C-alpha cells in the first residue's frame, strides 16, 4: 500500500520481530508519513529511535533485538546460548555485549541494563541468529568462562560438541585470538580443553609471561597455570612457586570484566590465603624490583 519502499519496509519488519528503526520508517514513508503512523498508533515507540508495529506480538526475542539496537551491541553470553537453545538458558534476563571501554548502565523504559563490555569484538566474532546479531559460539563460550562455574561450562561445551555445533579446535582458535589481545578469565575454558584435547597447552597471557621472566631473572622457577584444590574447588594459579606455597596472580583490568568475575577473583584469593598460600597480586603498575622483594620477604617469613 506504500509502494516498493513500503513493501521492503514490511518485509524487514517481519524479519525483525515486528521492530523497525525510525530511519527505516522515514525512508519508507517519508517524515510526514512516519509521524502520521506514530500518531495513529500504527508504530509504537519502544526505545529511542526504535518502534514496534502495532499488533506485533511481544516476545522475548523482540525485546532482545530491541536492546541490541538501543545499546549498539549484540546478544552475548547466556542470551547467545539461549538463542541456540543450548545449556538450558532462557531469554528472561537479556545479556548484551557492547564494544566499548567504558562501564555504564542505562535505563531503558522501566528496566536498568548494564551491558557486558569488551574492547575486542571483530566482525568474524559475530553472526545473525533469527535476525539478531549474536556472538559466534566459540566467542560465546570464551566469554561464558568468566561468569559460570567450570562444571556448567563443561556441560555446555559437551552439549555443543554432541550436537555438532562446534569443534574443540574452533574454541581453541578463538581463545588464542583473545589471549593475544590480552584477554584473561578463560581459566575454566582452558581446563575443559585440556581434559578433552590431547596435547592442548593453554600457555600464558602476555602480561603473565613478563612476570614469569621477572621471577626467572630473580632465580626462581615459577610454574604457569599451576592446578590446586582449595576448599573443595579446582583452581589454577597464574604463576606459582609450589615448594614455598607462593602464588602470583596478575590482576589485569579486563575489558570484559564483570562484577561476578571480580567477586570470584576476590573469593579465590581469600580461599588461597586460608589454605596457607601467600598471594602476590601483580598489576600493570607493579615493578620487577617490587615483586622480587615481596617474594623474598615471603620466603623468609615462610621458613622463619
Res 5 pLDDT > 70: no
Is 90 exceeded by the pLDDT of residue 304?
A: no
Query: Confidence band (pLDDT; 50, 70, 90) for 41?
Result: very high
* 174-193: pLDDT as tens digits: 988 887 776 556 778 888 88
**Predicted confidence (pLDDT) at residue 201 exceeds the cutoff of 80:** no
Strand (E) or helix (H) holding 33: helix 22-40
Cα(44)–Cα(40) distance, integer angstroms: 9
| CA–CA distance, 129 with 254 (Å, rounded to integer) | 27
Q: CA distances (Å), 271 to each of 78, 229, 303, in order?
A: 27, 10, 21
- Going from the C-alpha of 44 to that of each of 74, 112, 179, the distances in angstroms are 23, 21, 44
- Nearest CA to 16 out of 5, 4, 8 is that of 8
Cell numbers standing for residue 159: 552439549
pLDDT score of 159: 92
Which of 157, 134, 131, 133 has its CA nearest to residue 144?
Answer: 157
State the average pLDDT for the chain. Answer: 86
Q: What is the pLDDT of residue 256?
A: 39
pLDDT at residue 1 is higher than 50? no
The mean pLDDT of 243-263, rounded to a whole number, is 70
pLDDT over 50 (residue 85): yes
Specify burial of residue 303 (Cβ count, 10 A radius: 0-12, 13-18, 19+): exposed
Global pTM reads 0.66
- Identify the CA nearest to 156 among candidates 93, 89, 64: 89
Give 104's pLDDT tier (boundaries 50, 70, 90): low
Average pLDDT over residues 268-278: 92
Amino acid at each position: 500500500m506504500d509502494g516498493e519502499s513500503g513493501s521492503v519496509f514490511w518485509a524487514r519488519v517481519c524479519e525483525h520481530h515486528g521492530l523497525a528503526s525510525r530511519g527505516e520508517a522515514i525512508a519508507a514513508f517519508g517524515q510526514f508519513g512516519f509521524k502520521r503512523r506514530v500518531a495513529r498508533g500504527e508504530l509504537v515507540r519502544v526505545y529511542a529511535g526504535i518502534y514496534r508495529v502495532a499488533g506485533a506480538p511481544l516476545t522475548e526475542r523482540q525485546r532482545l533485538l530491541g536492546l541490541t539496537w538501543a545499546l549498539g551491541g549484540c546478544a552475548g553470553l547466556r542470551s547467545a546460548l539461549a538463542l541456540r537453545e543450548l545449556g538450558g538458558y532462557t531469554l528472561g534476563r537479556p545479556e548484551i555485549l557492547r564494544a566499548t571501554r567504558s562501564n555504564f548502565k542505562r535505563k531503558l523504559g522501566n528496566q536498568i541494563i548494564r551491558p557486558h563490555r569488551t574492547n575486542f569484538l571483530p566482525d568474524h566474532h559475530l553472526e545473525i541468529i533469527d535476525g539478531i546479531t549474536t556472538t559466534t559460539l566459540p566467542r560465546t563460550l570464551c566469554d561464558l568462562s568468566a561468569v559460570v562455574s567450570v562444571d556448567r561450562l563443561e556441560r555446555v561445551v559437551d552439549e555443543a560438541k554432541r550436537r555438532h555445533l562446534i569443534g574443540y579446535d574452533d574454541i581453541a582458535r578463538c581463545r588464542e585470538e583473545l589471549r593475544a589481545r590480552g584477554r584473561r578469565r578463560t581459566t575454566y575454558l582452558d581446563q575443559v580443553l585440556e581434559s578433552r584435547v590431547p596435547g592442548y597447552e593453554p600457555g600464558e597471557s602476555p602480561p603473565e609471561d613478563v612476570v614469569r621472566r621477572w621471577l626467572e631473572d630473580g632465580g626462581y622457577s615459577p610454574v604457569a597455570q599451576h592446578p590446586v584444590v582449595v576448599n573443595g574447588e579446582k583452581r589454577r594459579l597464574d604463576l606459582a612457586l609450589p615448594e614455598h606455597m607462593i602464588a602470583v596472580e596478575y590482576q589485569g583490568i579486563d575489558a570484559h570484566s564483570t562484577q561476578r568475575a571480580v567477586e570470584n577473583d576476590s573469593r579465590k584469593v581469600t580461599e588461597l590465603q586460608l589454605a596457607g598460600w601467600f598471594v602476590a597480586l601483580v598489576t600493570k603498575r607493579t615493578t620487577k624490583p617490587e615483586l622480587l622483594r615481596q617474594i623474598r620477604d615471603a620466603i623468609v617469613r615462610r621458613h622463619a
